[in-house]
Amino acid sequence: MTDLNNHVILVTGANRGQGKAIAQHLAASGAIVGVGARNYDEAGEVVRQIGEKNSFPVQLDVTKEAEWKLAVDKIIDEFGRIDVLVNNAGAFKRQAFRDMTSDDYQQLISVNQLGVFIGMQSVIPQMEKQQKGSIINNVSISAFAPISRSAAYASTKSAVVAMSKAAAVELGPSGIRVNMVHPGGIKTDMVPENQEVSSYYDSVPLGRIGQPDDIAKVVAFLASNESSYCTGTEIVVDGGMTLGTPDE
């Protein structure tokens, strides 16, 4: 298991799904994990499951600058540093392009794009002081291989890719690394359970749907010193889905 002993890490959207799995795995790897969530009670429940020795709840609506400031200040006051930020929180809406309103689009921009931007800006000053830090943006294969009725979602994810790469160039001299994970289909509450879905994932090269831990392990690698020469990197975790289906 990747060694993250005493790394101080903030994970957003960590109250369920991929975010919860990421928080649990990082804590099991030795990290001290801030479980960020818009619902503080749900963050507290995850902390109870992980253990208060290795985690703590953080009130964090990623669209609100004031909550970012409070969250980051709290972590720095308590631990004197913040080693890693995992921007995991996201919103998904599948809707025909012609039917999507500007309000619908703005909602996705606020969470998926602006939330990542504010988060990165919030931790950069402390990471610059440390001359070290890792920012990991959990994006999506939709950034480069969108499905139908996902134009708004896919465009917000593509924007995060461009922002991450530009930030990696700019922040590298300060010892700050910025990397991306691109999940494919992952078994969470967002994925319906039916025969059609199951049959589809049987057809991808690795023959199964992804599990939240598949993402968590890659995040742990990017959070650790094992990836110290990686920045601007995109790691695709999709079982080969974007490669096509194997011939029989």
Would you call 153 a catalytic residue per the annotation?
yes
Q: For residues 228 and 231, what is the distance between their CA atoms, to the nearest angstrom?
A: 8
* 35-60: burial string, b at 16+ Cβ within 10 Å, e else: bbbbeeebbbbbbeebeeebbbbbbb
Closest CA to 171 of 211, 148, 137, 142: 137
Q: For residues 90 and 14, what is the distance between their CA atoms, to the nearest angstrom?
A: 11
Tokens of 25: 């795995």
- List the catalytic residue out of 40, 105, 153, 200: 153
Sign of the four-CA dihedral 177, 135, 211, 207: negative
Tokens of 30: 């030795």
Q: Give me the active site residues, please.
A: 153
